[in-house]
Amino acid sequence: MRAVTHRLGGVSEGPYDGLNLGGHVGDDPTAVARNRTLVEEAVGTPVAYMDQVHGADVVHVRAAGGSPTCDAMVSDTRGVTLAVLVADCTPVLLHDARAGVVGAAHAGRPGMLAGVVPATVAAMRDLGAEQITATVGPSVCGRCYEVPAAMREDAAATSPASYAMTWQGTPAIDVAAGVVEQLAALDVVVQWLPGCTREDPTLYSYRRDGATGRFAGLVGLA
């Protein structure tokens, strides 16, 4: 199972209006808990979340509960869904049904540069994964992610495909393109879902709104 939520539905209000799943953004904790319950009811399993810090650490999850400090999780346990929370960063959902191994990675610019995606693929292969497929969810697109020129050069040195330009012709980074390039180099089959968080009002976007919620990429074994 692989899925991506949006902000429609849910019980959060104000700038978090909708199905906010982020418990660290200032939303009412009761509303976040209810939203997370709605997601668990929809997927039919407990959901494991992370305390994301824009790094490259990967945690092996055997059961939902707690929030490990990391930016990627892998699991070979059926009946547990892994969640990655985003508002502009790239959610990467990895799956090998034959081996019974899944992974979820939070790939913002720092995570892409730190190698969180290759680290997640390596952790899955350590658990026996051989034929990994990836779903890359919506994120801020290169046309909307303006950065200083030096930052673009640093990103391109790691992933050349991330080199981008905004609608106005200024330097930008396309993190998702860089992630897809990394996955392809690792022989991972990729499905890249369309959508830019800053351009799509049904998705949360920090760059567009500042105070906002988080939507989720979800992956698990049936």
Confidence check: pLDDT of 129 > 80: yes
* Structure confidence at residue 87 (pLDDT): 97
Crossing angle (nearest 10°) for helices 149-158 and 175-185: 10
Domain ranges of the chain: 2-220
Q: Hey, what are 174's tokens?
A: 């396309």
Instruction: Say whether pTM exceeds 0.85.
Output: yes
pLDDT at 127 over 90: yes
CA distance 139 to 179: 11
Q: How confident is the model at residue 102 (pLDDT cuts 50, 70, 90)?
A: very high
Res 60: pLDDT: 97
Q: Is 130 helix (H, G, I), strand (E, B) or coil?
A: coil
Confidence of residue 44 (pLDDT cuts 50, 70, 90): very high
| Strand segments (E) across the chain | 2-4, 47-48, 58-60, 72-75, 81-86, 90-96, 101-107, 133-136, 163-165, 171-173, 189-192, 215-220
Predicted local distance difference test score (pLDDT) of residue 66? 83
Closest CA to 31 of 213, 218, 219: 213
The mean pLDDT value of the chain amounts to: 96
Token representation of residue 29: 């904790």
- Please say if the pLDDT value at position 186 is more than 80: yes
65 pLDDT more than 90: no
What per-residue confidence (pLDDT) applies to 64?
85
Q: How far apart are CA 78 and CA 143, in angstroms?
A: 39
Domain range 2-220, CATH architecture: 4-Layer Sandwich (3.60)
What is the mean pLDDT of the segment spanning 18-22? 97
pLDDT value of position 222: 76
Q: Which residue has the tokens 């022989």?
A: 187
Q: Is 106 helix (H, G, I), strand (E, B) or coil?
A: strand
Element (H, E) at 109: helix 109-114
pLDDT at res. 53 = 96
The answer to whether residue 63 scores a pLDDT higher than 90 is: no
